[in-house]
Structure 1
């Protein structure tokens, strides 16, 4: 096994990534399908040699970013959750939104989602679900496609035009149906969402559902999040759900200091 590259204080090692990048690579090895990893799995998924993985994992465990069970497998530590809970884009938004999300969940007895845009995807920052709610594909902390979910379409519709164009030129498909998305049809959909302040998205698989979503504005009049309800198609009444979702989104917007009415044109 080759020796670790010699470090020079205050400088990047002559070969390989900085320690912080390798630590991030270890954390990125975990995902929804890999919540628990052996040392070997952690090494392979991060691309870091086993000896370095063990040493870095030890440092991360000492800080609380990783934990190791009696079976020797590594998992994400609670310290990361503590730090992540301080993120202002999620925490302040959730504090304002949760009472109104609770009202929607009580009425629909299904799922209520709150998402923000993160890069080229939507990030689910909160979800309230009734006990009898249908199965859904996305979890809190998970990422949703912008072009193929209710909250994603809202965030895409109110994004800057240059960002929209960068998405529209990509080959897009609805998943898990694996059906292609027409750029022209998507442009029309985005224009309707901007006009109406409301998105209605239907998915056929793995279970037919309807998502109705509305934008949430901040004090600077930017759309900072999207709120939606997700219900089984057979129980969906978008004409009734739309006003309820829009009213809740408007109330959250006011709580964030926004003055603009949902769906109204900018002054």
Structure 2
């Protein structure tokens, strides 16, 4: 008889998932959160959250204030800083976004993928008063929008791989019925995807015809940025 296979122990994985759930509960603009608010956002019981926060506090990811509220600790800030510095993204990308926004009169942004969502990492606003109001740090779904499609198509393959999509990608009215976007992938060393460079604006202004006129500019900016970040031309 064959010996029965031992089932893998998943306790450690489940515990790690809960720890990350607590950290992910903090959003842009939060200062400190009550235990009850953490429970609401994570769907975890308060006793579990308190136990997880003890471990997070030990490593500096969480700080517990005298009034019992919790806020992110210095280690969370350090890792965020290390992430950005390790890729030298900000100093390379922000000037590109500023130029694109000034030339196109639309909002320029750079997104990365975070699980089943996309994160706005950097942004340069359109000079027009009618513009998008997503801020750096905000999350959006991985839907069928241009930015999400680029991140999904190139996330696990090299630049040279065939994806079946024409670049830049243009979509309208997906995440928001009044918003249109145009997106291109940006690659780094090893031809791996770093993120998506995008132009976004109100659909009334960023029509398909106008997007066609902006495509060469966005393509050139993305390819130049890729070369600066280590991708081979």
- TM-score by shorter chain over 0.5: yes
Q: Shift of the alpha carbon at 1:66?
A: 3.3
CA distance in 2, matches of 1:222, 1:62: 35
Trace 1:18-167 onto structure 2 (pairs within 5 A).
Answer: 23-31=19-27, 36-43=32-39, 45-46=41-42, 47-50=44-47, 53-54=49-50, 57=53, 60=56, 64-67=60-63, 73-87=69-83, 91-130=87-126, 132=129, 134-136=131-133, 138-159=134-155
Is it true that 1:210 corresponds to 2:210 in the alignment? no
* Alignment size in residue pairs: 214
Structure 2 partner of 1:201: 171
Distance 1:155 1:41, change over 3 A: closer
Structure 1 partner of 2:198: 228
Give unmatched runs, 5+ long, in structure 2.
1-8, 158-162
CA distance in 2, matches of 1:24, 1:160: 23
Q: Shift of the alpha carbon at 1:246?
A: 0.9
CA distance in 2, matches of 1:89, 1:133: 33
2:213 to 240, 247, 255: 240
SS state at 2:164 partner? helix
Structure 1 partner of 2:222: 249
Q: Shift of the alpha carbon at 1:97?
A: 1.6
CA-atom RMSD in angstroms: 3.7
Q: Shift of the alpha carbon at 1:87?
A: 1.6
Distance 1:133 1:159, change over 3 A: same
Maintained 8 Å contact 1:90/1:125: no
Maintained 8 Å contact 1:101/1:248: no
User: TM-score by structure 2 length?
Assistant: 0.70
CA distance in 2, matches of 1:159, 1:116: 10
SS state at 2:204 partner? helix
